[in-house]
Structure 1
Amino acid sequence: MRIIKNFIIILFSLIILSCGSQHSNNFTAKEIYSSENLIITQISENSFIHTSFKQTNDFGNVPCNGLIVKNGNETIVFDTPTNDKSSEELIQWINKTLHSKINAIIPTHFHDDSLGGLLAFHNHHIPSYSYSKTIELARENNFVTPQNSFNNALVLKIGNETVTAKFFGEGHTKDNTVGYFPSENILFGGCLLKELEAGKGYLGDANVSTWSTTVENVKKEYPNVKIVVPGHGEYGDQKLLTYTINLFKVH
């Protein structure tokens, strides 16, 4: 009887441990590529964070995240690395290591940590898609401009699955959109979402008064989200949405 009781306790403990992983995800994340300019971390069976770096005056050398999602031998990338050199490295890695075609690149806002390496994708004839306001702001700031626009939401096919990009309101910028990969319930929040314990960051193009409401809209749209990837820092789960909402709440 005691042996059975001990077995039940051990089994229960293992279940608790398996449910309590840092990212609320049974997949064990692992860094699978690293160079001076680019780090790639696999966070689920078919999703990878690409991290490149941007030297800033106020915040030092900042790591900047984007997301690669895969189905079959096709991928879609959210946000470019910060420059063309890092983007070229990413494109080669996807082609040669994942043996995948890149169907699209989707910059989620007009800053260079989102579209700074766009020319490299265009040079490989990879189509780019952005919210119409992103194209307008990129053009105003003399940046390389995404080729295809959408008004509120975009749905693209990837293998047998789809991905979406959608505008929910202003926050970090007037044009910030988020990406969603429904088959794995992964949300790429870009710079609209903050990692846990992060500060408010760069606010030069922000609408601080609407930021919380925008993220609340995102949270309502994706109640089943399991993994949330911010533009900078550690990924996590729905707690990042709640943290960002509270960080910018107008009291």
Structure 2
Amino acid sequence: MRNITKNTFFILLCSFLFTGCKTQQQSNFKAKEIYKSDQLIITQISENSFIHTSFKQTNDFGNVPCNGLIVKAADETIVFDTPINDKGSEELIQWINKTLHSKINAIIPTHFHDDSLGGLQAFHNHHISSYAYSKTIDLARENNFTVPENSFSDSLVLKVGDKKTITKFLGEGHTKDNTVGYFPSENVLFGGCLLKELEAGKGYLGDANVSDWSATVEKVKKEYPNVKIVIPGHGEYGDQKLLDYTITLFKVQQR
């Protein structure tokens, strides 16, 4: 019994040390820019998560960086939001195929604006399945944009390798159809244009429901309490502070 106890203790100790080292490695991950061209930047933010950033020239806000997310498991990926146009999407698709050596299982636009689905046709040209909230599909059709192929009414769970992604509609804010994407294995939340970077202004409000915006983000915060990395539609990513900042920003508007 004594030898069995010692062996068991040794196994448990090794398991604890390995898990501790793995957790420490994840927490110490240093984000790095791993690809850059005139129209596309890709930044690795965790072991299996990457932000893709393209740029939209606007009259009111200048040349705006527009974020999307790539998540990877095994040799598969899922992409949230397209680059701003088909040319940028084609470049992103080629990079994923040739650099990550991965199949793209799905593209998920998180709302109907062109900084979310402006490059959708390029994904369709590669026979990559697209999924979106039912209202996103309706609004894309109304505005004569490329229409996502598959709809969901509340939430969507898709597999990527042996992991999963969750896309969910939790209320109106930036638009009537804005959804968020979550990668539970790395606690990464893609908030899209529903969430603001720290110190950002309110941005474009032409399709917004400003009165519900704070309450919607409060629901997001409650839904994903373990989130570690939060990515807004524009600007710098961060942590849960982006949720709190966005809540406060639009609570002021309600007064």
Name the structure 2 match of 1:110.
112
Is contact 1:25–1:226 with CA below 8 Å preserved after alignment?
no
Question: Which runs of no fewer than 5 residues in structure 2 stay unpaired?
Answer: 1-23
- The aligned counterpart of 2:213 is 211
- Kindly state the Cα deviation for residue 25 of structure 1 after the two structures are TM-superposed: 4.5
Matched, 1:127 2:129: yes
Distance across 2 between alignment mates of 1:32 and 1:102: 19
Q: CA RMSD in A?
A: 1.0
Partner residue, 2:99:
97
Match of 1:248 in 2: 250
Q: What SS does the aligned partner of 1:87 have?
A: helix
> Could you say which structure has the higher helix fraction?
2
- The separation in 1 between residues aligned to 2:117 and 2:145, in whole angstroms, is 8
2-structure distance, mates of 1:83, 1:242: 31
What percent identity do the matched residue pairs reach?
83
> How far apart in 2 are the matches of 1:80 and 1:34?
16
Deviation at 1:26, TM superposition (A): 2.0
| Unpaired stretches in structure 1, ≥5 consecutive residues | 1-18
In structure 1, distance between residues paired with 2:113 and 2:71: 22
CA drift of 1:100 comes to 0.1
What's the TM-score, normalizing by structure 2? 0.89
Q: Deviations over 1:124-156 (max 9, x none)?
A: 000000000000000000000000000000000
TM-score, with structure 1 as normaliser: 0.90
Distance in 1 (CA, whole Å) between partners of 2:162 and 2:180 is: 21
Q: Distance in 2 between matches of 1:25 and 1:244?
A: 25
Aligned length: 229
AA aligned opposite 1:195: E
Partner of 1:40: 42
Counterpart residue type for residue 204 of structure 2: Y
The offset of 1:88, in angstroms, is 0.1
Structure 1 consecutive aligned stretches of length 4 or more whose deviation exceeds 6 Å: none
- 1:169-196 alpha-carbon deviations (Å, 9 max, x no partner): 0000000000000000000000000000
The reply to whether residue 236 of structure 1 matches residue 250 of structure 2 is no
Which residue identity is paired with 2:85?
A: N
Match of 1:9 in 2: none
1:30 alignment partner in structure 2: 32
Match for 1:225 among 219, 224, 227?
Answer: 227
CA–CA separation in structure 2 for the residues paired with 1:233 and 1:103: 26
User: Does the CA-based 8 Å contact 1:166-1:177 persist in structure 2?
Assistant: yes
1:182-231 CA deviation, whole Å, 9 max, x = no partner? 00000000000000000000000000000000000000000000000000
CA contact (8 A) 1:228 1:235 kept: yes
